Amino acid sequence: MERFELQLKRNSRQDVRSIIEQAAKSLGLVTAQVTTLSTFPGSIHWHFKQANGRGTLEATYWPDRRRAWLSVRPGREAEWIAPAIRALRRLVAKGAKAHRKRLYSIRRSPIHGRGVFAIRRIPKGTRVIEYRGERISQEEATRRYEETMEYPFTYLFEVDEETIIDGQMGGNTARYINHSCSPNCESLNSGGRIFIEAIRDIRPGEELTYDYRLETEEPMTRRLQKMFACNCGTRRCRGTLLNVE
């Protein structure tokens, strides 16, 4: 078995499995099998193939030792394997480097739907992300959401009396940051641009949150109470996404 080591940074929190699978997918390789190797307890072992080609390229990731490598069994060589090895090594190294620079990732949230989670320590005062999306008028925001009162109204961010950012349209990861009554971030308006900034040190694995402090001019009804209900579950939870001050 010929083996080719993949470059990983030791003691990092990068998602190596995702990096390898995305690199293989980008090269058009098909995952024929995913197993574990008994000689490397806890390892992840892939068999990659080309759609209509012969030969198998194997990849192994051993989390306990922070090692990953590609391997080819004798007799399973094919013309596509050598260039695939070179490309995979390059893509994995590039993906690991890019991952180390990222502050957050998106995954399922216990608060609501998808959330944004720190993948490494975020110091207090860090501008984590800009809230982006289509800039529309207050009237257009009303037409889009308030008449139907659908949940995406939480993607609307008021910049000033005339401008709303609709994160649902052309938005970025910031739209998935959930509300909390005891947040670790806050929103800042800097020259008409909205940024989410850490208000304390945030540990890896923590969900990023800020206080939405939503406003409504409608009389409070049971329907609105249910719609604006808060699920943050913190000790200081006030039970609503609305600004009740």
Band the pLDDT of 165: cuts 50, 70, 90: very high
Dihedral (C-alpha) 209, 9, 44, 87: value to the nearest 10 degrees?
110
Asked whether residue 242 is domain-assigned, the answer is no
**Which residues lie closer than 8 Å to 166 by C-beta, 6 or more apart?**
133, 134, 135, 136, 141, 144, 155, 156
Instruction: Check whether residue 126 and residue 198 sit in a common domain.
Output: yes
> Which segment of 44-48, 169-173, 186-190 scores lowest on mean pLDDT?
169-173
**Residue 13 pLDDT:** 46
Asked whether residue 45 is domain-assigned, the answer is yes
**Residue 9 pLDDT:** 62
Residue 121 CA, chain-centre distance (Å), reads 15
**Which residues lie closer than 8 Å to 79 by C-beta, 6 or more apart?**
none
**Residue 6 pLDDT:** 86
- Predicted confidence (pLDDT) per residue in 225-238, tens digit: 788 889 999 999 99
Instruction: Check whether residue 10 and residue 75 sit in a common domain.
Output: yes
Instruction: Check whether residue 23 and residue 94 sit in a common domain.
Output: yes
Predicted confidence (pLDDT) at residue 42 exceeds the cutoff of 70: yes
Predicted confidence (pLDDT) at residue 211 exceeds the cutoff of 50: yes
Contact between 89 and 29 (Cβ < 8 Å): no
In this structure, what CATH number is given to the domain that contains residue 69? 3.30.310
**Residue 204 pLDDT:** 93
Predicted confidence (pLDDT) at residue 122 exceeds the cutoff of 70: yes
* Domain limits for position 193: 104-227
**Residue 182 pLDDT:** 96
What is the identity of the amino acid at 170?
G
Distance CA(96)–CA(13), nearest Å, equals 10
pTM for this one?
0.58
Instruction: Check whether residue 23 and residue 61 sit in a common domain.
Output: yes
**Residue 153 pLDDT:** 59
Instruction: Check whether residue 82 and residue 123 sit in a common domain.
Output: no
In this structure, what CATH number is given to the domain that contains residue 129? 2.170.270.10
Band the pLDDT of 99: cuts 50, 70, 90: low
Query: Coil, strand, or helix at residue 187?
Result: strand
Asked whether residue 37 is domain-assigned, the answer is yes
**Residue 245 pLDDT:** 65
Residue in the structure block whose two tokens are 């009237």: 139
- Of 31, 39, 36, 35, which Cα lies nearest the Cα of 57? 31
For 136-185, the DSSP string reads EEHHHHIIIIITTT-GGGGGEEE-SSSEEEETTTT--GGGGPEE-SS-SE
The arithmetic mean of pLDDT across residues 82-95, rounded, is 87
- Predicted confidence (pLDDT) per residue in 189-202, tens digit: 988 899 999 999 99
Name the H helices within the chain.
16-26, 81-101, 138-141, 222-227
Contact between 108 and 35 (Cβ < 8 Å): no
